[in-house]
Every structure is written in C-alpha cells, then in structure tokens.
A and B are shown apart, each in its own frame.
Chain A
Amino acid sequence: MFKKNAVAAGMAAFASVALTAGCAVADGSKGSDVDITAMSADELAEHLIFETDSFRDQEMQEGGDWRDRMTQDDLQKACSLKGDPDGETAGQVVAMARASYEAPESIELGDWRKGAELADSGYGYRQGHRTDDHSQREAGGNCYNCHVFDPRVSDQGTVGPSLQNYGANRGTSEAVLRYVHEVISNPHQYFPCTQMPRFNSDRHQLLSDEQISHIMAYLLDPESPVNNQ
C-alpha cells in the first residue's frame, strides 16, 4: 500500500509506468501497484498494452517483436479517431503518406489469375493462439474482406467501395497504373485515415512488388473477370 500511495503522489503517469513495469500481474488475482486513476485515458491505454502482460511475447512475421507491432507510428496515432479526421489532420496524414512513398521506375501489370488468389486470401500476419507461418504459405492481400471485385466468385465485403469493372471504367494508362500503385502501397495519400491497410510503406512491406503487380492486373487487365461484368 505504501508503494501505491507513493507512486500515486505526484509522479507523472508515464514515470510511474516505467517504475512499476513488471509489477502488474496477469493472473487476475491481485491488484497492481499502479494508480490507474492518475493517468489520462491515452496513458492508461498505452500502459495496459505495454505494461500488464496482456500480449504473448512472439516474433512477428514482418520482423520485430510484439512490442514493435503494437507501437504506433505517427500515421496510426493521427488516425486514432472517432469518425473522419478534421481538415488539418487530413492534410498532415496525406503529407506523411506522400513523404514516405517511393514510386517505382516503371509499373507493369502481372498475372490477374495470381492477383485473384491474392485478393481472396486472408492468410498472413495473424499472431497468437494460431500464428500464420509464411514459410508454409504466402500472405495474401485480404482484399475480398472489404471490396467487391466479382460477386460471381464469392461473398465479398462492403467496408470499402466496390471495384467491379474498375479497369474497364478507367483503362490502363500510365497515370492510372501509378495511381493504383500509390493507393495499394499507401492509400492515405488520397484517403487520409482510410481503414485500408498500407501494403507497402515506410512502416513495412506486407505485399511484395510482384504481388502488388498481380493484384493490379486483377483490377486493371482487360482480360480479368473484374472487367467483364
């Protein structure tokens, strides 16, 4: 109890977090020595993630450990919002995303059949009670979860916009190719704080350049079923 009071009295919340790291217990039977009411909601959320043994200590598929994955970068921090960002935040997020994007010298469409498989695959990057093993199976793009590409194939999600006839409506000019590559790599360049993941950004590369070229082919190739509906 002495420690509880001592910590509560006059120490900045983050200092107390650092001092008492490791004291919080995970078995649900004892209170921790940290005064959680002395923290702001943001500080307590960070404390709960990093200092209460709430996550398994595992290596992540993209490299690094669980702490690296759970540590927010600037874009994630800026987009931790209820609802849409205000104008200023949106501008900052777009600037951040643009600054980190590296355009390839040239962009070519890959194989739309492989792109269809990648768009459909929800495998990859899952951690915990079952962990995806990328040496056994390549990670997919998860695209069908949120976008309709071709409703003839399966049930597809509606969190993002429908992409039916995407290429048929836009063609395959250099400008379109560059735009689609930018959006898949880091969609915040155009849609600040979108729910869509960054598949190739300064944070990490979730899809290889080749995989992105296949998914782009699925979207844009005139032969792709996406463009024949």
Chain B
Amino acid sequence: MFKKALLALPVAMAVGATAQAGEWQDPNDVLQQFLQENPDSAYLHQSEMNIMMMPDNPALWLVDEGEDLFYAQRGPNNVSLEGCDFGKGPGELDGAYVELPRYFEDTGKVMDFEMRLVHCMKELQGFTSDDAAVARRHGSGSDIMKLTTFIAHQSSGMAWNPPLDHPQEQAMRDAGEKLFYRRGGAMDFNCASCHGDVGKQIRASVLPHVGAGPEWSKAVSWPAHRAGHDNVRSQNHRIRGCVWQMRHAGIKADTPVNTALISYWNDQARGEPAILPDLKR
C-alpha cells in the first residue's frame, strides 16, 4: 500500500487535490435514496420491474468475473492489470471510475475510462487491437464489460467528480457541451432533443433530463444491465446507440468525440452519487 501511495503522489499533484468523493455504497441503496428523495421523477420511477430486480441485478455477476480478470496474469506479457493507473495510482480503483475522464501525463491527453482500460491492456499486457480481449467491446460475455463492471463497482455510491484542473480536461468538457447541443445529422437532432426536458417520452421510454441531478446521475450510471438487451452495457454503448438513433454518422469506439461527451455527461452529474452497476430498461 505504501508503495502504491508513493506512485500515486505525482499524479495527485499533477491534477491537483480533488474533493472527497464519499463512501462506497451499495448500488441499490443509492437507487432507493434517489427514489425516496425524488417521488415525482417519472424517469426514476418508470419501471417497477427494474426497481424490484435491482438487488438481483444480473450485472453483479460481471463484478466477480471482472475481478478475476483484473488480477489474472494475461496477454502476451503475462501480467495483471494491477499496474494500470486509472488516475488514483497503479491498481488503485476506489473512486477512480467517478473521477474520469481525466488528463494522463503518460499519454499527454484526456482519456475516458474505456480508452484508459484499453490503453493498459495494450501497453501493459501486450494485447493488440485484433485480440478478442480488446476487440470485443460490447456484451456481458466480453472481457471489456466484465472489467468495466468490476472497476466501476469500486466507485459505487461515490459522487461523480471528473477533474477539471488541467486545461485539457476543461477543454474537453467544454467541447463535450458544444457537441451535446450541436444540431446536426440527417434529422437535425442534438442530444438535448431528447434530454433537454423533464418527463418527456420517446415512445414508452421516459427520458432523463441533463439538468436534473439524480436523474442524470442514474442516466450516466453505466455499466448497467439493460433489460431490453439482456446484456450489460457501457457509457460508450449508450453514446453509439444515441448517435445512431439521431441519424448522425456512425461513431467509432475509443475516439475523442466519446471522451468529450463523457466529460460533459459526468460533469453534469457532479456531486450526485453513482449507481454502479445500474439496471436500466
């Protein structure tokens, strides 16, 4: 532990001290607190079935599988991911997920969670883009989603707190805000077309509002088991689906447009506890 703390120190100094993120909480406890404190939120209360299923969230299976993967010696280099720094120091996962995206000195740029995970799997473990471990981004059976769910779970109940101290972090967050409101594509939609108002529905689905703290915290709380897909999904999967529905061009994984949007998403949920993993319709 002492050694890890030493390694983490330069990073902490580089990005400046961040606010205390709070204690770990069970994801269902966070959800119950949101429901009790926001009895009128149609978004939060839309699925009784999902609320009932939350203690038995199928995504919790991936936490255990992801833990095994994280500590296993894998890849051509036969090392674990304990050397991966998600911003709190190598192998330090408590609170790391809710403090992303952030600027990383070693790459000289702002990275979101998935980008950083893939970076570590390549640089530390030696996987290449063609290896299934990295190439498969979606589905409960993918290594990426298992690892994502395990790592994110270590931040459950802690407040979203993506750092903005580095000028690149602020720049990406501000560009993400522009992207969120940028009308475009074949049907002129922006993100706010669906997420700019409280209690609106697309067909049967009640939409979360970007300005409504607890609603938005739940909305960006991925990974989540998506009942309609019967799979655990990521923030990047949600972006891909939204961009597809919006009739913009097809977005690629691991790209800076994702990072900027997630920077804005997580910033808009700032201060609210995260539900990790969540369960969604």
Contact = CB atoms under 8 A, between A and B. Distances in A.
A56 B250 contact: yes
Nearest to B245: A126
A41, A66, A158, most chain B CB atoms within 10 A? A41
A48 B172 CA distance: 9
A128 B186 CA distance: 13
Interface residues of A, number: 61
Contacts of A79: 183, 188
Contacts of A69: 184-186, 247-249
A170 interface: no
A26 B254 contact: yes
A156 B203 contact: yes
25 contacts: A27-B122, A30-B108, A44-B174, A44-B178, A45-B179, A49-B179, A52-B256, A55-B251, A55-B255, A60-B249, A61-B186, A70-B184, A76-B182, A76-B183, A76-B188, A82-B196, A129-B240, A144-B203, A145-B202, A146-B202, A158-B200, A158-B201, A159-B193, A195-B193, A197-B189
Interface string A6-49: 00000000000000000010111111100011010110110011
Given A31-B108, A39-B171, A58-B249, A45 B182 contact: yes
Interface of B: 107-109, 111, 115-116, 118-119, 122-123, 129, 167-168, 171-172, 174-175, 177-179, 181-190, 192-194, 196-197, 199-204, 207, 240, 243-245, 247-252, 254-258, 260
Contacts of B251: 54-56, 128
Given A55-B251, A131-B250, A44 B171 contact: yes
A49 B240 CA distance: 14
Contact of B254 (A27, A56, A61, A77): A27
B207, B240, B244, most chain A CB atoms within 10 A? B244
